[in-house]
Structure 1
Amino acid sequence: MLDVFPLLSGDDRITPRFTLVPGSAFGADVLSAVEAVGGRTIPWSEARDQSYDLVIAASPKGELEVLRGRHVLLPHGAGFNKSLRHEGSADSASGLDPEYLHRSEHAPPVSLHALAHPSQLARLAAADPEAALRAKVVGDPTLARLTASQPLRETYRAALGTGSRTLLALSSTWGPDALLRRCPDLPAQLAGHLPYDRYQLALVVHPNEWSRLGTYELRARLAPALEGGLILACPRDEWASVLIAADALICDHGSAALYFAAVQDRPVVAVHRGGSELIPGTPMDELLSSVPMLSSADSVEQALRAYRPETGQSAARAAFRHRTTASQRLRTELYALLGLTPPTTAIPVPLLPSPVAAPRVPGAFDVHVSIKESMIRVDRYPVGLQAPGHHLAVEHGVAGEHHLRSAGLVYRRRAAAFATTSTRVDWLADGWARHILAEYPGCRAAAALLAPSQCLLRVRSHAQPYSVGTEPVTEDGRILRIDPAAAVSAAHAWLLSQRTTPTEPVRLDCRIGAQGFPITLAPATTEAAAEPL
């Protein structure tokens, strides 16, 4: 609904009002979503006593027919792929159920049944021939927003802090066959299996499931994965921005998978074939029957490699038509029903906003290291989700005391400048490092991250501190930069592997994530040791 109403904006002849048809088990959050965008709502008891020039709904269910005025039914989700056994007629597709489409003789008929694909018109005719007479294929307005917003992909990735990592999204619909119902531990298992510097994880949860659990319980259930950096996309707009930003998708039988496949040809992997709800022969059935299946978190990279290009888009073409013109087509139909001439000023398709769900950067990592001469590979995993590695790297000021007491390496990022009305106290880089080694006797090294390319590292029992310098690399016309915390982990591990301490600059070839980065390790100058932290 909120994807459609902007099509009527810029017209002072139109006054939109929102109401909630009673009967949904998931209505608790609906009015909150409308209020969040400033929509004016009216109670159902008041709404049913008035007359309207147009009544627009996204579902035929409930007492919708008591609202007086011409009715429009919008596309709801990516086609009609599910049959909900606990409601309506047996084996009927949700949204095409004759029990809900059929209206009493005194109720106004639906003036427009908007559909997204010609095949849906044939299915509607089979379910309710009379309703099909007033149906038109206009496309999907939600897909129109995703398509129009595709050029903002890099903007969305920047907002999410993705960087050069592969953004792997998971989508979970609602009901007993949803991903989070069947595989509740999968987000945490993936966070523990996939290196943090190579992969970023995001989760899209259906609004019904979000409403069923509530934000507090949902976040509590996902706590291990969220602590490991999982992005939980909110169900209003942000889910679509995250899908555009994503490099690959792990899905169930929910509509998000077809929307993802429609806007980009990137890998799709399924967790199951749809369960008892999925209707055979539908576009979603075609998609799930042709993409790789994920047997376990450990096999995710193999499953992603097994995806065949064009598979997802082939299924999406069976669900959507008029991708780029859906909004204009629907706008024309709505104004025709209103009996109004549309404004001459064209209304652009509203673009999706940038995500605001900032991921939590883990405060502690289990760091796995392999060293061969000056070649170092570093893989970092959020603590507790992977077996212990070479050392535990902990960020001071972010992680708790328990992790600090167990850390092999403690690091701190330079504080941003801030205004103060009292005396301000700053550490010198080496002074802070010495303080940490004295405070935590079990810690073997401390590092001050002064800048993206400049760090100071002090190793216990070494007489001198070290400067750790990193250099960006270019790839495919892009500049890639390393997290300095990963760089000091590499330098720390290499120094511990040496029998002597270096007195001259050493160049290390470090592989972090999917890229190689040069790191320079050298005895720190007096000026570097005295840098403010």
Structure 2
Amino acid sequence: MNWATVSPTRVVLVVLHNITTLTRMLDVLPVFDSDFRVQLVATWSGSDPFSHGLREAVEELGMRTIPWEEATRIRFDLAIAASHHGGLAELTTPLMILSHGIGYTKYSPGNRKSEIGNRKSVAGSEVFGVSAEWVLREGEPLAEALVFPHRAQVQHLPAAAVPTAVLAGDPCFDRMRASRGLREHYRRALDARGRTIVAVSSTWSEESLLGSGPELIRRLLAELPVDEYRVVAIVHPNVWHHHGPSEVRRWFKDCLRAGLTLVPEIEGWRASLIAADCVIGDNGSVTAYGAALGKPVLLGAFPDVPPGTAVDVLGELAPRLDPTRPLRVQVDRAVAEHSAGRYQAVTDLVTDAPDESAGLLRELCYRLLDLPAPTSDVVVEPIDVRGLDGGRVTACTVSCEVGDVTHLTRFGIEPQSIEDSHIVAHALHAGRDVRRNADILFRYADESIELEDREIVAVIGDGHARVTSRDGRTWDLYGDGDPSGFPSIVYAWRAAGRELPPRITVETGDLRYELRVSGSTPRTASS
């Protein structure tokens, strides 16, 4: 019995391997939008070492799934995969394969530079995803179509597979290009407020940025004042789903308390790149995409990569981060000395067809389905702000210099030894010593927490802070700066033995704003 309400004329099998391939599919599958003739069905073999979390993510999307054993028995009209492993040879369905990153930029296992010598003389057969072991089956092409973003990578294919190569651009990069006009929207979602956004990107493996230097993000938060910089961490999905999401979040607990934005593995990373002022990364696709968007880049790690790719060129052009030197100086220099066309050679190698990938992919898919393509416009959805947040700072070491202009400097990794400083902490900060030693305790306006006695207590709202001193005086402060810094201004003025005027000019880094102050009759901060 046929239980269908709408009977499709073609069924496409979406072959997933892990969260990384799912994210690429989410850029490709919209080519079938608004077409009742096509039904999509997802499957995965379960053999991928990073398949943790895939089932839950697919179920959240609402895609219909079938077991791998059933998928291998049925001949669908087309199968689409974004990786070359995981039992693709078991399928009896016509197959289309594309990359799940910025092209094919890694060596196959057993073909690292240390084992093969000078990488500039490496033959294409060692490149993951394009060597014979990945694209041929018994000497014949495994897929009807091998999709490449750029013609430079086709040269690595064995001769028997070359006729299957199709140039169809990069749908991920096209969406980022189409979303560049939303940069300020993304910055607001990250609560940038004039801050320099530093996006820290790590791929997976022990040679990645995170694998070779896991303390880097903590050091950045310790050296970059929170009112002047926003640090955003973009961690490869394979890290999330080998170690487990709870483990990744546990690693960064102190960093999250210091204001780190830890971008979820599916979405948020592209918006973060567009919003970023500087990218610190490695040989992963995210770092190269950042360079291709024209961002200043510092390489914190860079293992060997195949020659002639966008990532390889980035490795030749981008400066290295020196972990033995102060990080703020290096970040500021990278931003100040960056020129608009510095990474044009990287951009040129990302795609042969900028802004055309969706149309080319739709044309290819419908040709393989032997079905007339829809006549409607090809839609490229802008990237939304899912996964972005401003990262609430829950403890700071603060120095504040009172004068005609009040200078405020706050560091989020707690506590630091700074002369003439004080400590500010959230009332429920996880560190008991931090709370005990805090000169200022605060809560947010949307929280119902009783504040313990301190020299200063405060309630932080949107653009506003209500600050109460131990002697019962209360001030309301309004301004364009981060209101979690306002209580420190009250503390500093009182420590200097001065009454707060109705207006205070505050400077923190390059940001200067006017703070409006009004006093009131004594009341409690929790009111």
Give TM-score scaled by structure 2 length: 0.84
**Counterpart residue identity of residue 221, structure 1:** W
Matches within 5 A, 1:385-400: 386-388=416-418, 390-396=421-427
Structure 1 residues 203, 413: CA separation in 2 closer, same or farther (over 3 Å shift)? Answer: closer
The answer to whether the Cα contact below 8 Å between 1:159 and 1:355 also exists between their aligned partners in 2 is no
Following superposition, the deviation at residue 85 of structure 1 comes to 3.3
Is it true that 1:165 corresponds to 2:195 in the alignment? yes
Secondary structure, aligned partner of 1:61: coil
Q: Give the corresponding residue for 1:280.
A: 307
Of the candidates 48, 55, 58, which is equivalent to residue 72 of structure 2?
Answer: 48
Local SS of the residue matching 1:28:
coil
Q: 1:44, 1:77 → 2: CA distance? A: 24
Partner of residue 130, structure 1:
160
CA distance in 2, matches of 1:354, 1:449: 24
Q: CA deviation at 1:185?
A: 0.7
Tell whether 2:109 aligns with 1:101. no
Q: Which residue of 2 aligns with 1:362?
A: 393
Aligned to 2:96: 72
Q: Which residue of 2 aligns with 1:497?
A: 496
1:119 corresponds in structure 2 to: 152
Instruction: Measure how far apart 1:21 and its partner are.
Output: 3.5
- Report if aligned partners of 1:169, 1:204 keep a CA contact under 8 Å in 2: yes
Determine the structure 1 residue equivalent to 2:475.
467
Q: Is the 8 A contact 1:160 1:357 kept in 2?
A: yes
2:152 maps to a residue whose letter is S
2:317 is aligned to 290
Please list, as runs of the form range in 1=range in 2, the aligned pairs for 1:400-411 lying within 5 A after superposition.
402-411=433-442
2:78 and 2:459 mapped to 1: Cα distance? 63
Any conservation in 1 of the 2:398–2:410 contact (CA below 8 Å)?
Answer: yes
Aligned to 2:6: none
Q: Pick from 507, 510, 513: which aligns with 1:514?
A: 510
User: Does 2:336 align with 1:305?
Assistant: yes
| Structure 2: distance between partners of 1:249 and 1:491 | 35
Task: Name the SS of the counterpart of 2:288 in structure 1.
Answer: helix
Q: Tell me, in whole angstroms, the C-alpha distance in 2 between the residues paired with 1:347 and 1:322.
A: 15
> Which residue does 1:452 correspond to in 2?
463
Q: How far does residue 175 in structure 1 lie from its aligned partner after superposition?
A: 1.4
The alignment's C-alpha RMSD in Å is 2.8
Tell me which amino acid in the other structure corresponds to 1:152: L
Q: What CA distance in whole angstroms lies between the structure 1 residues aligned with 2:161 and 2:182?
A: 38
Say which SS state the counterpart of residue 152 (structure 1) adopts.
helix
Q: Counterpart of 2:146 in structure 1: which amino acid? A: H
State the AA in 2 paired with 1:270: L
1:190 counterpart = 2:220: yes
Does structure 2 conserve the Cα–Cα contact (< 8 Å) formed by 1:370 and 1:376?
yes
Instruction: Provide the C-alpha distance between the structure 1 equivalents of 2:428 and 2:99, rounded to a whole number of angstroms.
Output: 49
Q: Which amino acid aligns with 1:286?
A: V
Letter in structure 1 aligned against 2:151: P
State the shift of 1:457 in Å. 4.1
Identity rate, percent: 28
- The answer for the alignment partner of 1:181 in structure 2 is 211
Rg (Cα) greater in structure: 1
In the alignment, structure 1 residue 8 sits paired with structure 2 residue 32? yes
Aligned counterparts of 2:67 and 2:209: Cα–Cα separation in 1: 35
> What CA distance in whole angstroms lies between the structure 1 residues aligned with 2:220 and 2:268?
22
Structure 2 residue aligned with 1:338? 369
CA distance in 2, matches of 1:14, 1:300: 49
SS in 1 for 2:26: coil
Superposed CA offset, 1:215-261 (max 9, x none): 11111122221221211112212222222222221110001122222
Q: Which residue of 2 aligns with 1:239?
A: 269
User: What's the TM-score once normalised by structure 1's chain length?
Assistant: 0.83
Q: CA deviation at 1:191?
A: 0.8
Whether the 8 Å contact between 2:152 and 2:308 is mirrored in structure 1 is no
| Aligned position for 1:478 | none
CA distance in 1, matches of 2:279, 2:245: 23
Going from structure 1 to structure 2, the CA distance change for 1:457 and 1:284 (only over 3 Å counts) comes to same
Cα distance in 1 between the residues matched to 2:308 and 2:461 = 58
- 1:202 is aligned, of 220, 232, 239, to 232
Asked if the contact 1:287–1:311 (Cα under 8 Å) also holds between the matched residues in 2, the reply is no
**What is residue 474 of structure 1 aligned with on the other side?**
none
Residue deviations 1:131-156, cap 9 Å, x none?
11121211011212222232333333
Q: Secondary structure at the match of 1:482?
A: coil
Per the TM alignment, residue 466 of structure 1 is displaced from its structure 2 partner at its CA by 5.6
Closer, same or farther: CA 87–2 of 1 in aligned 2, 3 Å: farther
- Residue 35 (structure 1) aligned to one of 56, 59, 79: 59
- Unmatched runs of 5 consecutive residues or more in structure 2: 1-24, 117-121
